[in-house]
Amino acid sequence: MAKASQQQPSIAERMRAVRGGAASLPKTAARKGVREARSAARREAILAAALDEFSLRGFEAARLEDVAKRAGVAKGTIYLYFRDKESLFQELIRAMLTPVVGSIEAMGDADMPLRALAERIAEFFVREVYETRRRDVIRLMMAEGSRFPKLAEFYYREVLSRIIAAMRALLARAAARGEVPPGLVEYPQIVAAPGLVAIVWSGLFERFEPLDVRAMMKTHLELIFAPRSSA
């Protein structure tokens, strides 16, 4: 029994071990935080490189090895984050546009006159989409969607269907208050049309005739909210 008791750590030794383990926790958490930050940075680098490659070559011609080279990682690293090129494209859409969709949905819930709300959404579109790389994602989707139906379906489900639902809801409220014609509720695409025109124009004709997107969208809203004859 004496020999067995001598092998047991003393209370002091146990307390030192506990204190030592507690002291090591912040270091472990810090190392974990560094690893997570590096992983997130690699993921962001891959997405940024993918946008460059897809924009330059199109979805079909873009190669994952070129994405990896542009991102400064090994090709195999991409597969740690994305299953294949299609899932990489889908995540690019989700990462770039889901925050925009969420913001539009939140603005659509606001209880305020539609004219003021539409002006706020128009300015948000110009600032957060048209003047950023997000417009490249939308332009790319417009160019590739007809050739790759699965990508178009994903884009519709994750982006367009949510925006259309939000727009229809606020248009229905506005129509009930007499702010817009009832028929506009069924065609929220009419409200969004200048944004799409601006993106197409910027890619094809901007160098020949620059477009003042804010002024165009303001004019569009003036047409929508112009006084209507009661006859």
What digits encode the pLDDT tens for the residues 189-231?
999 999 999 999 999 999 999 999 999 999 999 998 887 665 5
> Which run of H or of E encompasses 128?
none
Largest CA-CA distance found in the chain, in angstroms, rounded: 108
pLDDT at 16 over 60: no
173-207: b or e for each residue (b if 16 or more CB lie within 10 Å)?
Answer: bbbeeebbeeebbeebebbbebbeebbebbbeeee
Domains in the chain: ranges and CATH: 11-75 (1.10.10), 85-224 (1.10.357)
pLDDT reported for residue 37: 85
152: amino acid identity, one letter: A
pLDDT of the residue at 35: 79
Model pTM score: 0.80
- Give pLDDT, residue 7: 53
CB 85, CB 68: distance < 8 Å: no
For residue 6, the model assigns a pLDDT of 46
Query: Which of 107, 45, 104 has its CA nearest to residue 71?
Result: 45
- Model confidence pLDDT, tens digit, residues 108-164: 888 889 999 999 999 999 999 999 999 999 999 999 999 999 999 999 999 999 999
Task: Give the confidence band of 10 by pLDDT, cuts at 50, 70, 90.
Answer: low
What is the per-residue pLDDT across 83-121, written as a single tens digit (0 to 9) for each? Answer: 999 999 999 999 999 999 999 999 988 888 999 999 999
Q: Would you give the end-to-end CA distance of the chain in angstroms? A: 107
CB atoms within 10 A of CB 111: 7
Q: Is 156 exposed, middle or buried (0-12, 13-18, 19+ CB in 10 A)?
A: middle
- How is residue 89 written in tokens? 């494209």
